Structure 1
């Protein structure tokens, strides 16, 4: 991983073998990004770990409402975006493997296959954090 910072933006270059979410979390820590927006993310992963909500009734247990996907093979990442609150990225991803398009909440363990390029916009004028809301859904709040 290599990072570059200019004018409130942190550019993150991930190389083969880097872990996407873990590296972006490290970049936020290294560049003091407490609150920010991931405005751009592209690359390829050699595996894809995501979850998505598959229900509308939202049972209390998160395990009962989320589908976890762990997919091997090369995945072309067409978009990663989300919010950083309390220094923690909450990101969603869209990726394609030549036959299937998958989208969902980016999880740990996604290894970069060829490259990854991400842009984080730091927001220094206010702070956001997440706290449990209705149905144990994590909600953004102004700190």
Structure 2
């Protein structure tokens, strides 16, 4: 992993084969003091894809009762990663394609970079966000 920071608060993260996507983005946020911001672009290829998504319209309070986890092997072309960063913690979603199937969901730990990964993080000055449980224990952005 290598990171580059511009004068106007953008952090570009380059991931190489074997790097872990979410874990590296979290490390870049810490290294560059990104408390509140967004991952505004993300592309690459993963050798496995770990995501979860909500598959119901009724929302039980227990997240385990509403989330479907997928751990998918094989080469995945990542067409987009994006999301908000609050309290230094990214909440990211991903869309990826393996040649036959397109999937999307919440990016989880353990996604290993196959060929490359390129992510752009934008820091927000003058705004401080956190996440707090809302209705049905859904994590919601709020201002600190």
- Give me the TM-score of the superposition, normalised by structure 2: 0.99
In the alignment, which residue of structure 1 is the partner of 2:4? 4
**TM-aligned CA deviation for residue 124 of structure 1:** 1.6
1:52-72 CA deviation, whole Å, 9 max, x = no partner?
Answer: 000000011111100000000
1:26-62 CA deviation, whole Å, 9 max, x = no partner?
Answer: 0000000000011000000000000000000001111
| Secondary structure at the counterpart of residue 110 of structure 1 | coil
Structure 1 residues 18-33: aligned runs within 5 Å: 18-33=19-34
Q: Does residue 72 of the first structure (1) align with residue 73 of the second (2)?
A: yes
In 2, Cα distance between equivalents of 1:124 and 1:29: 16
The count of corresponding residues between Structure 1 and Structure 2 is 143
| Secondary structure at the counterpart of residue 64 of structure 2 | helix
In 2, Cα distance between equivalents of 1:68 and 1:9: 31
**TM-aligned CA deviation for residue 93 of structure 1:** 0.1
Q: Root-mean-square deviation (CA), in Å?
A: 0.4
In 1, Cα distance between equivalents of 2:133 and 2:98: 34
In the alignment, which residue of structure 2 is the partner of 1:111? 112
| Secondary structure at the counterpart of residue 22 of structure 2 | helix
Structure 1 residues 1-143: aligned runs within 5 Å: 1-6=1-6, 7-143=8-144
Runs of 4+ residues deviating >4 angstroms: none
In 1, Cα distance between equivalents of 2:126 and 2:16: 32
- Give me the TM-score of the superposition, normalised by structure 1: 0.99
In 1, Cα distance between equivalents of 2:5 and 2:49: 28
- Unaligned runs of 5+ residues in structure 1 are none
**TM-aligned CA deviation for residue 126 of structure 1:** 1.0
In 1, Cα distance between equivalents of 2:48 and 2:13: 19
